[in-house]
Structure 1
Amino acid sequence: MKRLNNINKIATITFGAVLALSSCKPDLISLNGPSTGSFPANAKEAEMGLFGAYQIISKLDAASTPMWHVMDNITDIGFARPGTNYTSPITSAITTDNALTNKPWQVHYQTIARCHTVLDNLEKLKSTMTDAAYKQLDAELRFIRAYCYSQLIELYGAVPLLKHSVDLANASVPRTPKAEIEQFLLDELTATADNLPLSQAQFGNVRASRIAAYMLKARVALYAKKYTDAAAAANTAITLAKTQHDLTPFNSTVNSVGKDHTATEPDLSNIFGHAGFKTSKEWIWVAEYNMNVPGNTHNQQYYSASRLGKGVCYWGPTQDLINTFQAKDGLPITESPLYDASKPFENRDPRLDMYCARPHMRYVGYQFEPATSFSTVKNYWPVINSTTTTAPSVANADATNAFRSFSGYGWRKVIDLADFNSTSVSGVSDLDVGIFRFAELLLIYAEAKIEANELDNTVYDAINRIRRRALMPDLPAGLTQAQLRKALRYERKVELANDGLRWYDLRRWDIAKTVMNGYIYLNRDAKAWTKEVLTGFDDSYTPIYNRTEAIKYFTTQEVVYKVNKDEYWPIPKSEMDANKQLKQNDGY
């Protein structure tokens, strides 16, 4: 399959040379692109500029982990190792020089600058290109720019809306209201979507397609609460996707869910692994990484995996997420007769074990036991590699290491077992990262229809497609708008867990002020618990705890969310210093 790979390497060299000609100061580079006046000089250079814009998106990371797999770990469903960059966002203590919250501003504006370097001079190349090629190149660049702005306005609110490159003399640009930028993005995507190819699967979906553009339009409209527009755009994307995209069934390892470490380890490589990014129809748009491109790797798997599994377990699901997964009859665990608190991982939504790693099962080739009562555990790699039929015992570092999992759980979605059979402890990986996938598109459509109070069979069909893939029962018919909203929020919470969307959902649903105020629950010591720890779930499927009972078993992290402050992150101090027309967000 043809990918950007070597083209990306050429783009890095070519565009790096162009950047070297720019007179931008380091602290102003986010608002200023190269202004050589001659780039691109031909269609080939314009294409290299496009690839350069795609490539820089992969620079969006924190703790050497692509940002898409960081964001959920500063919410109620994921937890990061305690530290300034990741504890401050959940305790209302972010400062304007926080590395995590500064990075998206820098990378997105650098990407926008790269787009403008080509877009500003593209018109003069029109006569040298076919009309279709010109329109596609223009549309891809505008798609990338639209994606970057869609992220900026959700993270920071009003931001400077730049439609062309600016030089140093004009670098001070005021913030544009969020609603104005939202409309600009919707207009841009309406104008350009049909100029894109239906699919770019031949490039591994790392380039924008018509389907991706309509999906982005649907997401922007949904977040802007323009539900009719969101439903229409999502429906167009789903219709276009009929021959291109679909949900990929779980592989046979789904048969190991609910079982212990003696069963096969759940494996998501056919969706979220190297094989999945090559062959799964679920992916609509992907961020590409490549070992052969300097700087185009990450340490995502190393930061996620267990101590025994060659990782440092920097991130992990919370007890709140684990408790959210329904019983396999489709009922919450506080209501299902199938749930047994003494065997809490049996008879659950299979996505619990497919998406998360929990005690008593295999995780990256080892028996995973955070409890200190397990002094040794089984190493299954010799069995996996057929060098022996019996798994030897090894010392249990996942229970004794001072920096073992802080939540007591691990993420599976970011793991490809094949890498752990050969990768050293440095963990350098070029596993791709999905940005848009078909499951989210279905949920965007369903939510838009629910919020527009258009409760027809297409809503049920969209949600049930996802539930059926997960081997969960269909939703009962005849649900009210409120009941369907709760069902939708359950699906987004569990199906999109660790896809990086929860932070935005908490804010746009206006539930962060309750969900992120109080405590989130963890189980670092893997203690057993009783059913009395929970009293139920609220309308957004957030667990409600009997705190007196819960703290007997679980550890907690206090979380703080201040209204009229924590809706957005602060504008980086370096940008405030450089651009005197910027006004800081409230509370910082």
Structure 2
Amino acid sequence: MKKYAYLLLFTAYFLTACQKGFLEKGPLDRFTDETVWKDSALVNLYVANIYSGIISEYDRAGDALSMSYTDEGEANRPYLDCQLVNFAQYNAATGVFSSSWTDNYTSIRKCNTLLEQLQSAPFSAALQQRMRGEAFFLRALFYMDIYQHFGAFPIIDKALGLNDELAVPRATNKACVDFILKDLEAAAAILPAKYTDLAQTGRATKGACYAMKCRLLLNELDYQGAAAAAKQVMDLNQYKLFPDFKSMFQPANDNNVEVIFDKQFGSLQSKQKHDLNSYEYPRNFTGFASGVNDPTQNIVDAFLMKDGKPWDQSPLYNPDHPYDNRDPRLYASVLYDGIMFRGEILDLRLGSAANPTDRGTPTGYYLKKFLDTTYDLKGLSVPNFNNCVIMRMGEVYLNYAECQLKLGNPEEARTYVNLIRARAGMPEILPGEMTWDKYERERTVELAFEGQRWADIRRWKKGPEIIGQPTYGMVISVVNGKRTYTRTKIEDRVFIAPMMYLFPIPQTVLNKYPAGKELVQNPDWK
């Protein structure tokens, strides 16, 4: 495969630079083109194109990130879909997360095509096997994204032709979960634990299969199964916590020891860029209406003081300096008033350069966690290439800890929560003091903004008490020369349980089904 490395990179460059969308427009996604399936280099490009279909948090840049659908964030654009969700003003016709249905099925079709064509591909059995494993993993990943947003889905496991029946009904929840698990297990049996060739960095691995299995089973409340999958990841001895939480998401640390699976931007696996830095940097750095998704006071309050106590219970809290003596992860995750960032002290008073009255931050905060601090701030034309982490060891430890709590093993849970806290520089939870509330807070701050909050809240059945509560921000002002901080309600949100735990299948999808074979809508969304 080394002899193809330069060819692939050269070809990928021109496919990206000169013919954006070439793989969708050309014959590479059609199994009738025999030329493609006889050339391993072209098939490799086809596989890379499937990787590019992964919908990561960074792909949502310029729109609402997942955080703004939960208590984690507030968008500074009133017309985004997250605002419809936050006020419960949406239905099937509004098409919330419609791309998560349509785009994932496009990618699933490509996986199915690949699996069928590999059966007769005239290149090495080892390469065929690896690609087959990748196809199983990626298909599972795309179906997991559909399942997370909409619940049960039509199972399509072959490349449908023009004469095939397109009106496939939704399967049961169990059938969907079993299908995803089958794909992950098939992939795990084939894929390596790691790749020795650096050119393969970013491809699916055995550990990625086990980790996604762990996430799926946890969300299905199968604590025994999820714990066993977490142990499978641990037993591979391929991953550990990256020592510095603050720099873990910086491009210099892409593919670090904690990353189990990510979307590789600017690489062979995706050949893409994203716009996260352009859209999420504070206004004073970009010169346009950036800072689209802004952390709430709700999430800031979740970060403990450095003595391990909540802000409203700790003697360390000073209302005149509310960000002093906090969990170090706050400083790595959120841009707040007075923080030093890229050589500037951020002034977030309303009307300042960083927080203008028109589309500034409605909460008094900006997102920091994923921002590339070396990013060349020249506007939207500058590509963003830092990778987006989709699964990391920190989440696996927390998943395992949650399982152990639910299974009645708090001391085992405490061990793994304390690993996370030690890395963050926070005091350990003492023997006998591991509670659910402490676990929930730890998960909230460790995984903040990473895209799993909605699934967590649904699993915990806490929609009304977390999402359906008011969101708050911080108003900064100067009175008689003294800087003051005032918690202020931003908005009242609505959560109508249980229908809102799943999004309605988009009406455009429902309309494609013929009379008598309609796709069944989610309960209460009819």
TM-score over 0.5 (shorter chain): yes
Cα distance change, pair 427–98 in 1 and its aligned pair in 2 (3 A):
farther
Quick check: 2:202–2:269 contact (8 Å CA) kept in 1?
no
Contact 2:48-2:268 at 8 Å conserved across structures = no
- Residues 532-578 of structure 1: per-residue CA shift (max 9 Å, x gap): xxxxxxxxxxxxxxxxxx9x740321111112321111212221111
- Aligned residue identity for 1:447: E
Matched, 1:112 2:49: no
Cα deviations across residues 415-441 of structure 1 (Å, max 9, x unaligned)? Answer: 112114x53355531222111111111
Q: Of the candidates 391, 408, 411, which is equivalent to residue 367 of structure 2?
A: 411
CA deviations 1:373-421 (Å, max 9, x no partner) are xx8xxxxxxxxxxxxxxxxxxxx3123341111111011112112114x
Q: What's 2:423 paired with?
A: 469
Q: Deviations over 1:99-120 (max 9, x none)?
A: 6511211221111111111101
Q: What code does the residue aligned with 1:473 have?
A: P
Q: Distance in 1 between matches of 2:271 and 2:132?
A: 27
Matches within 5 A, 1:196-207: 196-200=191-195, 202-203=198-199, 205-207=201-203
For residue 254 of structure 2, give the secondary structure of its aligned residue in structure 1: helix
Tell me the amino acid that sits aligned with residue 106 of structure 1: T
Query: Does structure 2 conserve the Cα–Cα contact (< 8 Å) formed by 1:21 and 1:34?
Result: yes
**Separation of aligned partners in 2, 1:93 and 1:505:** 23
Specify the alignment match of 1:55 in structure 2.
52
1:538 is matched with none
2:295 matched residue in structure 1? 317
Name the aligned partner's letter for residue 162 of structure 1: I
In structure 2, which of residues 505, 508, 523 is the aligned counterpart of residue 574 of structure 1? 508
Work out the percentage of aligned pairs sharing the same amino acid: 24
Match of 1:282 among 253, 258, 270: 258
In the TM superposition, what are the counterparts of 1:449-488 in structure 2 within 5 Å? 449-457=404-412, 459-479=413-433, 483=435, 485-488=436-439
Q: Does 1:435 align with 2:390?
A: yes
SS in 2 for 1:453: coil
Aligned partner of 2:336 in structure 1 is 358
Which of 218, 241, 244 is the aligned partner of 1:250?
244
- Contact kept, 8 Å, 2:137 with 2:209, in 1: the verdict is yes
| Amino acid in the other structure paired with 2:402 | E
Give CA deviations for 1:3-24 in whole Å, capped at 9, x if unaligned.
Answer: 98556457877994575459xx
1:91 to 84, 87, 93: 87
Structure 1 position 303 matched with structure 2 position 299: no
Q: Is the 8 A contact 2:362 2:490 kept in 1?
A: no
Partner of 1:584: 521
CA-to-partner distance for each residue in 1:38-59, whole Å, 9 max, x for gaps?
A: 4523444433322121122258
Residue type of the partner of 1:437? Answer: R
Check if 1:73 corresponds to 2:68: yes
Q: Which residue of 2 aligns with 1:26?
A: none
8 A Cα contact 1:205 1:286, kept in partner: no
Structure 1 residues 248-283: Cα deviation after superposition (integer angstroms, max 9, x where no partner): 2228xxxxxxxxxxxxxxxx4x421210115x2121
Amino acid at match of 2:346: F
- Which residue in the other structure is 1:160 paired with? 154
Name the aligned partner's letter for residue 326 of structure 1.
Answer: L
Contact 2:57–2:451 (Cα < 8 Å) also in 1: no
Matched, 1:41 2:38: yes
The verdict on how the C-alpha distance between 1:292 and 1:57 changes in structure 2, with shifts beyond 3 A counting, is closer
- Following superposition, the deviation at residue 195 of structure 1 comes to 1.4
2:68–2:74 Cα contact (<8 Å) kept:
yes
Cα drift, residue 92 of structure 1: 1.4
Letter in 1 for 2:86: I
Indicate how the Cα distance of structure 1 residues 95 and 365 shifts in structure 2: closer, same or farther if over 3 A, else same. farther
Structure 1 letter corresponding to 2:396: L
Change (3 A) 1:448 1:292: closer
User: Counterpart of 1:336 in 2: which secondary structure?
Assistant: coil
CA distance in 2, matches of 1:182, 1:339: 46
One-letter amino acid of the structure 2 residue matched with residue 413 of structure 1: K
Query: How far, CA to CA, are the matches of 1:514 and 1:162 in structure 2?
Result: 37
Q: Does 1:508 align with 2:459?
A: yes
User: Is this contact kept in 2: 1:442–1:462, CA < 8 A?
Assistant: yes
Residue by residue, what CA displacement relative to the aligned partner does 1:163-208 show, whole Å, maximum 9, x if unpaired?
Answer: 1111243111111122211122222222330311112472474211
CA RMSD after TM alignment: 3.0
- Separation in 2, partners of 1:190, 1:291: 27
CA contact (8 A) 2:12 2:271 kept: no
Q: Please tell me whether the aligned partners of residues 101 and 570 of structure 1 are also in contact (alpha carbons under 8 angstroms).
A: no
1:272 alignment partner, SS class:
coil
- Which of these residues, 209, 214, 217, is aligned with residue 213 of structure 2? 217
The one-letter amino acid paired with 1:412 is K
Report the equivalent of 2:130. Answer: 136
What is the one-letter code of the residue matched to 1:405? Answer: T
Contact 2:48 2:269 in 1 (8 A): no
Q: Is this contact kept in 2: 1:564–1:586, CA < 8 A? A: no
Partner SS state of residue 490, structure 2: strand
Distance (whole Å) between structure 1 residues aligned to residue 432 and residue 510 of structure 2: 52
Give the Cα–Cα distance (whole angstroms) in 2 for the partners of residues 582 and 249 of structure 1: 48
Quick one: structure 1 residues 553 and 332, their matched pair in 2 at CA, closer, same or farther if it must change by over 3 Å? closer
Q: Tell me, which stretches of 5 or more residues in structure 2 are unaligned?
A: 480-484
Report the AA paired with residue 361 of structure 1: I
Shift of 1:341: 2.4
Which of 497, 503, 518 is 2:469 aligned to? 518
Aligned to 1:235: 231
